[in-house]
Amino acid sequence: MNYVSKETESYYISWNPDVNETAICTTLEGKVTHYYILLGDHIDEYNLCNTLDECLEYFQENQDLISGWSEIYEGVKNETY
């Protein structure tokens, strides 16, 4: 089961304790468009981020923890999701 810890109009952060993964899920018109997933519980760190760009920067800084289920983030900021 996923737990949503932060939700905005363009993204939400979820944590799945069953597989111990934390995801940034970008959204457009209520539909998920991208999944960026790190292994482990990163809820506290993501909750300190104020923008999607800050969350994605944190994701990039922790590339060694990227889940095999994750999409690759290309590093494009302020893109329309």
- 10-residue stretch averages of pLDDT, the chain, 81 residues long: 86 92 87 92 93 94 94 68 43
**Domain range for 35:** 3-65
In a domain, 71, yes or no: no
Alpha-carbon distance of 66 to 76, in angstroms, equals 18
**What is the structure's pLDDT at 74?**
80
Task: With respect to residue 16, please indicate whether it lies within any of the assigned structural domains.
Answer: yes
Structure confidence at residue 77 (pLDDT):
56
Q: What is the number of domains present in the chain?
A: 1
Indicate the helix (H) or strand (E) that contains 13. strand 11-16
Burial category of 68 from C-beta neighbours within 10 Å (exposed 0-12, middle 13-18, buried 19 and up) = exposed
Beta bridge partners of 27: 32
> What is the reported pLDDT for 80?
47
pLDDT of res. 1: 77
Question: Is 51 inside a domain boundary?
Answer: yes
Position 74 in a domain: no
Q: For residue 38, give the nearest of 9, 49, 76, 80 by alpha carbon.
A: 49
